[in-house]
Structure 1
Amino acid sequence: MPNDLCPCGSGEPYEACCGRYIDGKALPPTAEALMRSRYTAYVRKNLTYLIDTDMQEVDVEATRAWMEEATFHKLEVLKTYRGKALDKKGRVEFKAWFTQDGKERVHHELSDFEKYKGRWYYSGGLAAE
């Protein structure tokens, strides 16, 4: 639905926010924009976008299973380190709340991003305490 709010928590409509990146109409200009759009891809179960924006080989079956088993509720960006439009690398710390197997959980991560040929990619992450 075009006027639905984006799941990333920006308060913007999906189409004006992460939807334009996921639908291939624009490239995320920052590491944080890519991270938010990847979260939204998990919410909307868009495995193709996750594969296309990952610099590493994706474990497709594990990623699909997590997307199908989890219901994502909320994203909170805690801090962004570099990752602006003119940077080549960036890091975003975030928490994502989800329900899986009937239990509320929080995924807290420090995600790394790299820009390659003018496009941001997820390049890895570390679980945070």
Structure 2
Amino acid sequence: MKTDDACPCGSGRRYADCCGRLHAGAEIARTAEALMRSRYSAYVLKLDDYLQASWHPSTRPVNLDLAEDDGTKWLGLEVKRHQQQDENNATVEFVARYRIDGRGHRLHEISRFVREDGRWFYVDGDIIA
């Protein structure tokens, strides 16, 4: 992805000024929503290492291997709600649209995030049918 391209997260900003800074390690996500957006962009760009690093160790999968998942085309992200429960806990409700083998799908999730040592991590989420 070129740094001048629009960020996949749908923020309307350039990738280099948005999720690209988080992916490159130039800064950390200031909010759970920012982390969730950067994780969506990481799925789009197949950045396994970033996804693993931003996943809480208590729920992190051993392996993602997104390179094998060539049939998924991510189409867009809509953040419906970002709620801060307290200083170190937050939820983000979102809908991610994608296509596999030409067939459209929606992932509607309420994700839980925790902040430890000033850094946000994805913990888990509940899929909304």
Preserved contact between residue 43 and residue 67 of structure 1 (Cα < 8 Å) = no
The residue type paired with residue 9 of structure 2 is C
In 2, Cα distance between equivalents of 1:27 and 1:76: 21
**SS of residue paired to 1:60:** coil
Deviations 1:5-55 (A, max 9, x none): 100000000010000001100000000000000000000010110000000
The residue type paired with residue 69 of structure 1 is G
In 2, Cα distance between equivalents of 1:60 and 1:14: 26
The equivalent of 2:118 in structure 1 is 118
Tell me the CA shift for residue 67 of structure 1.
4.6
**SS of residue paired to 2:51:** helix
Task: Indicate yes or no: 2:73 matched with 1:74.
Answer: no
Q: How many residues align?
A: 126
The residue type paired with residue 76 of structure 2 is K
In 2, Cα distance between equivalents of 1:100 and 1:94: 19
- 1:1-129 matches, cutoff 5 A: 1-55=2-56, 56-61=59-64, 64=66, 67-82=69-84, 87-129=87-129
Preserved contact between residue 28 and residue 119 of structure 2 (Cα < 8 Å) = yes
Preserved contact between residue 45 and residue 68 of structure 1 (Cα < 8 Å) = no
Tell me the CA shift for residue 116 of structure 1.
0.7
Is there any run of 5+ residues in structure 1 with no aligned partner, and where?
Answer: none
Is there any run of 5+ residues in structure 2 with no aligned partner, and where?
Answer: none
Identical columns (%): 38
Normalized against structure 2, the TM-score is what? 0.91
In 1, Cα distance between equivalents of 2:67 and 2:109: 19
- Return structure 1 stretches of 4+ with deviation > 2 angstroms: 63-69
**SS of residue paired to 2:96:** strand
In 2, Cα distance between equivalents of 1:21 and 1:111: 19
